Each structure stands twice: as C-alpha cells, then as structure tokens.
Amino acid sequence: MDKLLQLVVAGLVTGSIYGLIATGYAVLYTATGFVNFALGAQAMLGGYLAYVYFPAVPQWVRIVISLVVGAVVSVVSWNLLYKWAARRAMLAAVIMSFALAIVFEEIIRLSAGGLNVPAPSPFGRTVFQLGAVTISAHQLAVVVVSAVLFTGLVVMLGSKRGAAVRAMFADAETAEVLGIRTARLTTILFAVSGVFAAVAGILAAPLLTLSPYMGLNLALIGFVGAILGGLGRIGTAIAGSILLGLLEAFFAGYVSADFRTALVYAVFVLVLVIRPAGLLGRVAKVKV
Amino acid sequence: MSTPSTTPASPDTRLDATTDDPQPPSFTAERHLAPKWARWGLPVVLAVAAVALPFVGIDSAQQFLLAYMAIIALLAISLHFLMGIAGLFSLGQAGFFGVGAYVGVVLMDKLGWDGAIALPLVAVAGALVGLLMAVATLRASDLYLALTTLAFGFVGENVVRNIDYLGGAQGLAGFDLYFFGLTLDDPLLIYWIGLGCLIVFMVMITSMRRSRLGRALMAGREGPIAARSIGVDTGRYRFLAFGLSGAFAAVAGSLYTAYAYVLDPSVFGLGLTTTVLTIAIVGGLRSMPGVLVAAVALTWFRSAVDGEAISEYVLLFYAALVVLTLLFLPQGIGGAMSTSFRRLANRKGRS
C-alpha cells in the first residue's frame, strides 16, 4: 500500500510534466492543425537556460529569461518558418519542426557538451513526510505549478475573452469572418505553448538530469500522453498525460524499470490501433 | 468516410503539395521528355559503371567509402519509396535499419548462418516490422505518422540496450560473417551486395510506377479519400509500402554491421534518421535521381570532413539544411531540376 501511494506520487509528478508538453501540442493542434515536434527541444533549451548558462546571474532571473526565450523561440519559429511551410503542406511544417528540434539539440550539445548535467532544484532539498509517503519540495512544486498553470489556462479559455479562442478552435475560418484576429491569437497561443514547454524543462531537469537528448524524448512522451487522452481537447490531453505518468510509474515499480520506454510506446501503438481518438476523446468525422 | 479521426478539419497532409504549382500531380504527368535511348540507356550505363567502379584501382579507404555510400543510398531509396511514391511520412527508417542490423548479427554471427540465407530472412524481419508500423498508423491521421514511426526506433533502442545477449549498451564487436562462403569483411563485397539490392529495388520502383500497383500507391498519396472512392484499398497499399521499404532498409542495416564491424544501440539513433531524412528532403522526395545524387554527395561530404574540426557540426548542418530546403525548395534538388527541365522542353516545343 505504501509503495502504491509512493508510485502514485511519482506518477503524478512525471505526468504533470508530460501534461505541460501535451498542453502545448493540444493548443497548437486545435488552433492550427500543426504538431510542433520542437516543443521537447524547447523544454530542453529552457532547462539549460535556467540551470547551465550564465551561472553568475541569480537563478530567478535565469528562470525568467528561460520563460521569455521559450515564448520568443516559439513565436519566431512559427512566424518565420512553420507558417510558410504549413501554407503549402502541414506535413512539411511537421518535418521542419523535427529538423529544428535537431538544430536546437546540436546547438546545445556543441555549446554545453553532450554529457548529463545535474540540475539542483530551485525549491531546495527539503523532503516532507506525509504518513508513509515521502515527497520532496521539488515534486510538490511540480504538481502545484502545473496545477496552477492548467487551471489558469482553463479559466482563461472559459472567460469571455477566451471565447474568441474557443471560436477559433471550433472553426478558424468562420472565426476570422466574424472579426476575430486569428493570426494574432495563433501567435499568442504559440507563446503560451513555448512558456509551458520552458516550464516543463525547468521542472523536469532536477528529476531527470539535463542532457541535449532529453528533448525529443520529452516531445515523444508528451505526444503519447496527449494521444492517450485525445489531442483534440486540452483537458483530455492533460488527463491522458497524467494517466501515462501513472502507468509508467506503476510499470517501473512493479514490472521493470528498464523497459519503461518500450511500455510507453507500446501503449501508444495500442491506442492508435484501438482508439485513435484517445481514451477520452470524441470520435470526430473527417470533413471531406 | 469510415476512418475516425480527431482532426477537427482535415488539413492537407501531403508533403509537397503545391497550390501554385503549374504541374498537374506527377502521377498523371509521367510524360516522356527524353528520347527512349536516353531513358533506358543512361541508367544501364550508370549501373554498369557503378558495378565496374572498383576496378579502376582505388585504395582501401575509397572502397570503404563506396560500401558506405551503397548502404546509405539503399536506405535513402527505401525512404524515397515510402515518402515519395506512397506519400507515407516516416521517421522510422532507423528502426528498420537497427532491426536489420541486430537480426543480421544474430543469424550470421551468433547462429553462424551464411549471408545468402540470412539476408533474405533479415529482409523478412524488416518487412514484419514494417507491417507492424502500418497497423499502428492505419487508423491514425497522417500527422501522427511522424511520431508513430519515430517511436519504433526508440522502442528498438530501449529493448536492445537491456538485453545482455545482444551486447546491452556496449554492443557487440568483431563478427565472422560469410556470404556464399566468402568472408563478408571485404568492403567491395559489401559494396556489390548493397549495389545489387539497390539496383533491384530501383528497378522494382521504376516498373511499379507505371503499373496498376504504383498508380494505386500514388493515388493514395495524392488524395486518400478520392483514391478510396474509386476503389483503391489505401490500407492494403500502406501495408505493401511499409513492408517493402522495411525489407530493404533492414538489409541495409545488416550490411552496415558487416561494414562497421561493431554494433551498438546507436544504430537506432537519431543521427541516422536525420541523415537519411536530409538526403531525401534535399534530393527531392519524389525524384529518385535527386535522392541518389544527394545520398552520394552528402555521404562524400561527411567522409571528407571526417576527423576535421567541422565534423562536429555535420548534424547541425544537416538539420539546418532540411529546414532551409523545406522553406525555399520544397521539391528538393530533383524537383527543381525537373521543373526547369520541363519549362525548357515546353519552350522548345512552342517555338
């Protein structure tokens, strides 16, 4: 029982981090139909900016820099690169984002080295004992920060101003006809996804140790989480990611820690075969 | 429409569809611009020249380069077939390659089978992985293809890394491989086997393009819904495309172990995926000559800078090249060349 509770905590923590990436996917996918592969690499970039570069600057400043850069990278890459490729074919833009992820990975590898870098948590090393369950300050912070961000996003989308975004999710062309500035909204959503990715990187680094190669792994796992729940809505994408985190923790705790990556993708393939719309997603008809 | 999807609208997932392209879709545009002798003679002459190339008298380093070029070209053509002909976007070529490499080593080194039996079995193993990939992507939107196929490489790496029989994270080294009784450590033998597979595969693709099969594949690429409406079972052709591509990519992987003499989980890695993707995108997905030229040129470039300081930047350069090509030259070198060639031919015809 104690082990079970401990695994639930671990699963919630990793699931929240996957959820941050998955939210980015869901927001961009519903708004533009684009799957941004580079989100994982952006998370990695955020982690490096917060923990490795500019060691002389106080950490909170570096975290702010990391968040700002996350938003800027996201917005610039859409407006300068993906948008033009997406006009021709969405798949070209997806390949482009994959290539851009490799570019980020290589830039970081060349400038900071390809080895794992330890990242001390900004929340200190305090460990809380709740009954039989131990939870570190960092783990607690991960859950709290993600919960705040998720609720913030949901509240924003539910508000009156958020109605414009929802209108765009439902039908971008009609929204544009009704006078909603979809281009500006898309830019804002890209900024949001960039910030979420940077937060994911900052939160994940002390748990996983930083390396240039963590990016694509995060990108893939976040995507699996989003697919598991359903990419079409933000809530289902988050729920799917947390579910995936729990599944992974249980598998690692009870079956085999070595083969957890294989499990994640086995789940992925199964979902795609059995229920491509996601466990919680609604099956939508393709418009012809 | 029976295929469920989460796609709110159906975005255009074709990689190189151009709205402002003056050309009609290329499967209807298979017009012959070159005279017949050039169409048939040139490839035959080039193939004979490629087979005879080692007799010109080249040193050992160049022999190894040739072998490597043949392996990479085979892998790149397998991607050309999947992406350019069938329109199925794959980042899973490294998955096939790695499976081929490991199956090849188990059969030829651990079990001591001759390559003449083992290589066809490797192809079967690659085809099976391809079929599995096809199952996984059958009902999903094409935008998921990228991540789905990429996941196969990650699974492969995770699995072999944790199996001691396959060398674990360190990998295996020093194999005794045979092909028809000949030791498979001679780069020229590897080159000729690779070239043989490459030529067979290219002949298959070329003849397929003009057959019912190829037209069905290309119809699925141009418009899956339209293709289904005229009775093309796009799902079945997807199995075929993934299976065939996987078979040849696996053979390439198996030849690679003979070439490299070591085998570790990095064969599943992103470096290879990026390299092949760069070759296919820069060469032009739909253009077989373009892909071949890009395979030879980029492999030569990589070996030329090997050991130099800039070799560290090769992957960065490749990835940046993909971004720039997609932005400015969406049809790649091959596409750009054939467009200007057509324009030239049209002008000549009019005047």
A266 touches chain B (CB under 8 A): yes
CA nearest to B322 within chain A: A99
Asked if the structure places residue A113 within a domain, the reply is yes
| pLDDT surpassing 50 at residue B9 | no
pLDDT for B11: 45
pLDDT number for residue B236? 86
Cα separation, B92 vs B98, whole angstroms: 10
Query: What pLDDT, on the 0 to 100 scale, is given for residue A21?
Result: 95
Q: Both ends of chain B: CA-CA distance in Å? A: 48
**Predicted confidence (pLDDT) at residue B277 exceeds the cutoff of 60:** yes
Task: Tell me which amino acid residue B201 is.
Answer: F
Measured between beta carbons, the chain A residues lying within 8 angstroms of B139 are 272-273, 276
CB distance A73 to A133 below 8 Å: no
pLDDT tens figures, A200-254: 999 999 888 788 888 888 898 899 899 888 887 888 999 999 999 999 999 988 8
Among B residues 60-119, those touching chain A with beta carbons less than 8 Å apart: 89, 91
Pair B29, B23: CB distance under 8 Å: yes
Tens of pLDDT, residues B12-69: 445 544 444 444 444 444 555 666 777 777 788 888 888 778 777 778 888 889 999 9
Q: Is A49 a member of any domain?
A: yes
Res. A145 pLDDT band, cuts 50 70 90: very high
The parent domain of residue A58 ranges over 1-274
pLDDT for res A270 = 83
Q: Name the closest residue on chain B to residue A92, using Cα atoms.
A: B15
**Cβ distance B162 to B276 under 8 Å?**
no
Q: To the nearest whole number, what is the mean pLDDT of chain B? A: 82
Q: Does A169 sit within 8 Å of B10, measured CB to CB? A: no
pTM of the model: 0.85
Q: A223 in a domain, yes or no?
A: yes
| Domain presence at residue A122 | yes
Q: Which residues of A touch B148 (CB under 8 A)?
A: 268-269, 272
In a domain, A285, yes or no: no
> Comparing A169 with A68, which gets the higher pLDDT?
A68
Instruction: Report the gap between the CA of B184 and the closest CA in chain A (Å).
Output: 33
- Total domains in chain A come to 1
Q: Is residue A4 part of a domain?
A: yes
Q: Residue B350: what pLDDT?
A: 54
Question: Is this prediction's ipTM beyond 0.90?
Answer: no
Nearest residue on chain A to B271, alpha-carbon basis: A102
CATH number, domain at A216? 1.10.3470
Q: How confident is the model at residue A284 (pLDDT cuts 50, 70, 90)?
A: low
Contact between residue B107 and residue B118 where contact means Cβ atoms under 8 Å apart: yes
> Does the residue A147 lie in any domain?
yes
Is residue A208 assigned to a domain? yes
Average pLDDT over residues A252-266: 85
Alpha carbons A37 and A140: distance in angstroms, whole number: 28
- Sort out which chain B residues have CB atoms less than 8 A from A268's CB and list them: 136, 148, 151
